[in-house]
Amino acid sequence: MNNSPSFLMLVFTVLGSLGLLIYGMKSMSEALQKMAGPQLRHILGRMTTNRFTGMLTGVVVTAAVQSSTATTVMTVSFVNASLLTLAQAISVIMGANIGTTLTAWIMSAGFSFNIADVVWPAFLIGMIFIFKKRHATFGDFLFGVAFMFLGLGTLRATGMQMNLGENEAVLNFFASFDPNSIVTTLLFLLIGGILTMCVQSSAAVMAITMILCSSGALPIYQGIALVMGENIGTTVTSNLAALTASTQARRAAFAHMFFNVFGVLWMLIVFHPFIDMVCSFVGYDHTNPEKLSVVLAMFHTCFNITNTLILIGFIPQIEKIVCWAIKDKTVEKAPVRLQYIGNGLVQTPEIAVLQAEKETASFGLQAEEMFKMVRRLLEEKSESKFAKLFAQIENEEEASDQLEIEIAKYLEQVSYDHLSDETKNKIRQMLREVGELESVGDACYNLARTLNRKMESGYDFTEKQYADIREMMQLCEDALKQMNLVMTGRRGEYDINESFRIENEIDAMRQQLKNENIRNINEQKYEYAIGTMFSDIVTDCEKLGDYVINVVEARFGKQK
């Protein structure tokens, strides 16, 4: 009974240390994203069809954000949005598996030397940088590193305090499993997979494995079986992410699982020889269990690199396998309006901003298409076809309203995370952009309503009025096209003055047509009612031009 509180305290210390470790890694990852966020988005935005470039991209991004889950979930989202092909996604996922091995090396370092040598100086230096606001992000990074190493150091100390390597009950438990039996390997592999699925953190399970191995309680073969299980368990996240996504996205997630499962299968064939080879790499001779954390990290790296080298030449074949396993839906649902952020996943913040940027650009293209529908409505003479097209524009306007809300909500969620100053400004710009784009949709709907009023009234425009409206609408379409060029490209590649030139032409034409319209009504060249509708169309076109220029100004970072 006297030992019970002590034991409970040790258990709470282990759990608390794991929490500190996970929090430290999260803080470190977020700080890294703030420092490298814009560059990270540019890397992701310039992926190529080259499988080796895609693989290296996966390595770099995962090493940068310290989360293979973030990379694979992001990749699934990009495939869902048709931003990446399935073959590209497979190569990126292969790279992510290599990039995530850096985490194991960081943990191994934490088990290999006196962690206090790093923790307290890191806290001190981090605090100094945090108070210097200009370098606060680097201070956050140091704090994350310090918390992570503090968690690792506490875990290591607690493991030694528990004397797991001398605990007869623990030693007898693990000794009851035959290390040469395939059943033992499969059992520990299953345990590793289940633990990773439950805690949704392969890093936490890796830390536990290192404690057990470095204390001498867990033999190396069972420890590596746990690591192999972690590799499979971590694929569950991306597969869950893809459940509500497109067929291609589910295939990308399945490819991630196929890659890891295939690696485990061939590893089971060469299990003991491969581990012995890894042990020889690090000079482990079974007499120094503290070195087992290095063995685990080395195995993790060798396993993933070897698996990638084996499979990278077979990406087309893997693509065929996953396409065969996951068939196209015979009846596809209507396309989701949100293309890039439609699955509502929690993304790595800086990567999420890239997807929101793509979604906003897509919103602009949809606004242009809606205006083209209005132009078709102007020319439509059949009442039935007119009614059908008008109803379609009404639906587009409702969708535009909803799209603004969804993108704004997504950006609001992302803004709660730790972001670089540049990214915060980009979010503010995008919030303004989506608001103005929704107003473009309203202007399109107002134009359609005026044309519907004309159709119902029985009046018709004169040939001169039709010609003037067409010219005005052409200017508006030019403005929308220029807006979308700016939104889908880099700001430095386009001149904002071109948008202002078109806007000035719209303003000048609006004033000219309004003056002419007043004269024509006074001279009774047409009915007052048709003159009013003509004036409304000209005014709404001018308003649409204003909204478009507001979007362009927001894109260029200009204030109202």
**Tens of pLDDT along 45-97?**
565 556 777 788 778 777 766 666 666 666 766 676 566 778 888 888 888 88
User: Is the pLDDT higher at 425 or at 545?
Assistant: 545
User: Is the pLDDT higher at 344 or at 374?
Assistant: 374
**Measuring CA to CA, how many Å separate 69 from each of 61, 89, 160?**
11, 14, 31
- Sequence-distant (6+) residues with CB within 8 A of 320 are none
Please state which of the ranges 67-76, 146-155, 313-322, 503-512 shows the lowest mean pLDDT: 67-76
User: Is the pLDDT higher at 36 or at 395?
Assistant: 395
Q: What is the pLDDT of residues 160-212, one digit of tens each?
A: 666 665 666 666 777 777 777 788 888 888 888 887 777 666 777 787 787 77
Q: Per residue in 531-558, is it b (16+ CB within 10 Å) or e — as a string? A: bebbbbbbbbbbbbbbbbbbbbbbbeee
**CA-wise closest residue to 34 among 491, 355, 417:** 417
What does the pLDDT average to over 471-492? 86
Q: How confident is the model at residue 232 (pLDDT cuts 50, 70, 90)?
A: confident
**pLDDT tops 90 at residue 423:** no
Domains of the chain are 3-325 (no CATH), 349-555 (1.20.58.220)
The residue type of 526 is Y
Predicted local distance difference test score (pLDDT) of residue 2: 46
**pLDDT tops 90 at residue 436:** yes
CA–CA distance, 445 with 447 (Å, rounded to integer): 5
What Rg value do the Cα atoms of the chain yield, rounded? 30
What does the pLDDT average to over 90-114? 77
Q: Phi and psi dihedrals of 361, rounded to 5?
A: -65, -40
**Cα 43 to the center of its chain, rounded Å:** 13
DSSP state of 335: P
450 within 8 A of 533, measured Cβ to Cβ: yes
Q: How confident is the model at residue 42 (pLDDT cuts 50, 70, 90)?
A: low
CA–CA distance, 145 with 117 (Å, rounded to integer): 13
**pLDDT tops 90 at residue 371:** yes
Predicted local distance difference test score (pLDDT) of residue 549: 93
Q: What is the pLDDT of residues 445-459, one digit of tens each?
A: 999 999 999 988 888
CA–CA distance, 459 with 180 (Å, rounded to integer): 91
What does pLDDT average to over the chain?
80
Q: How confident is the model at residue 406 (pLDDT cuts 50, 70, 90)?
A: confident
Q: How confident is the model at residue 335 (pLDDT cuts 50, 70, 90)?
A: very low
User: Is the pLDDT higher at 398 or at 148?
Assistant: 398
DSSP state of 137: H
What does the pLDDT average to over 458-479? 92
**pLDDT tops 50 at residue 1:** no
CA–CA distance, 108 with 90 (Å, rounded to integer): 28
Q: Phi and psi dihedrals of 507, rounded to 5?
A: -60, -45
Q: How confident is the model at residue 539 (pLDDT cuts 50, 70, 90)?
A: very high
Predicted local distance difference test score (pLDDT) of residue 334: 39
User: Is the pLDDT higher at 441 or at 214?
Assistant: 441
User: Is the pLDDT higher at 4 or at 142?
Assistant: 142
What does the pLDDT average to over 473-496? 83
**pLDDT tops 80 at residue 429:** yes
**pLDDT tops 90 at residue 469:** yes
Cβ-based burial of 191 (10 A; exposed 0-12, middle 13-18, buried ≥19): middle
User: Is the pLDDT higher at 146 or at 305?
Assistant: 305
484 within 8 A of 476, measured Cβ to Cβ: no
The residue type of 415 is S
Q: List the structure tokens of 223.
A: 């420890």
- Sequence-distant (6+) residues with CB within 8 A of 245 are 76, 77, 79, 80, 253, 342, 343
Predicted local distance difference test score (pLDDT) of residue 480: 94
* 3-state SS assignment for residue 247: helix
CA–CA distance, 536 with 154 (Å, rounded to integer): 72
Q: What is the pLDDT of residues 503-527, one digit of tens each?
A: 999 999 999 999 999 998 898 888 8
User: How crowded is residue 458: how many other Cβ atoms within 10 Å of its Cβ?
Assistant: 7
417 within 8 A of 32, measured Cβ to Cβ: no
**CA-wise closest residue to 338 among 253, 399, 252:** 399
Length of the chain measured in residues: 560
What does the pLDDT average to over 281-295? 73
CA–CA distance, 199 with 213 (Å, rounded to integer): 20
**pLDDT tops 60 at residue 24:** yes
Predicted local distance difference test score (pLDDT) of residue 508: 94
Write the DSSP assignment of 46-82 as a string of letters.
Answer: T--S-HHHHHHHHHHHHHHHT-HHHHHHHHHHHHHTT
Whole-structure pTM over 0.85, yes or no? Answer: no
- Sequence-distant (6+) residues with CB within 8 A of 107 are 152, 203, 206, 207, 210, 293, 297
Interaxial angle between packed helices 86-99 and 68-80, expressed in degrees from 0 to 180 and rounded to the nearest 10: 170
Q: How confident is the model at residue 367 (pLDDT cuts 50, 70, 90)?
A: very high
What does the pLDDT average to over 101-117? 71
User: In the chain, pLDDT over 70 holds for what percent of residues?
Assistant: 78
What does the pLDDT average to over 283-292? 69
User: Is the pLDDT higher at 526 or at 339?
Assistant: 526
- Sequence-distant (6+) residues with CB within 8 A of 280 are none
Q: List the structure tokens of 77.
A: 């989202």
